[in-house]
Amino acid sequence: MLGLPLGPGAVPGPKGVRMPGLFGYCGWAVAFLIPVFILATFVFFR
């Protein structure tokens, strides 16, 4: 199914990989999406 790893071991939490919390995801999303939105605004609406 689309090559997604959905079997056992697909969740990296139990293997010692530290997962960010909700605010960590929000921070990464804001840090990534705000520049993308600004760039798209300048490219498409100038």
If you search the block for the tokens 């840090």, which residue do you land on? Answer: 31
The span from the first CA to the last CA of the chain, in angstroms, equals: 41
Q: Is residue 3 part of a domain?
A: no
- The verdict on pTM exceeding 0.75 is no
Predicted confidence (pLDDT) per residue in 10-44, tens digit: 665 566 777 778 888 899 899 999 999 999 999 99
Short-list 34, 36, 37, CA closest to 26: 34
What is the number of domains present in the chain?
A: 1
If you search the block for the tokens 């969740």, which residue do you land on? Answer: 11
Q: Which domain holds residue 24?
A: 20-44
Q: How far apart are CA 21 and CA 18, in angstroms?
A: 10
**According to the model, what pLDDT value does residue 21 have?**
84
Q: Is residue 7 part of a domain?
A: no
Displacement of CA 7 from its chain's centroid (Å): 21
Q: How far apart are CA 40 and CA 34, in angstroms?
A: 10
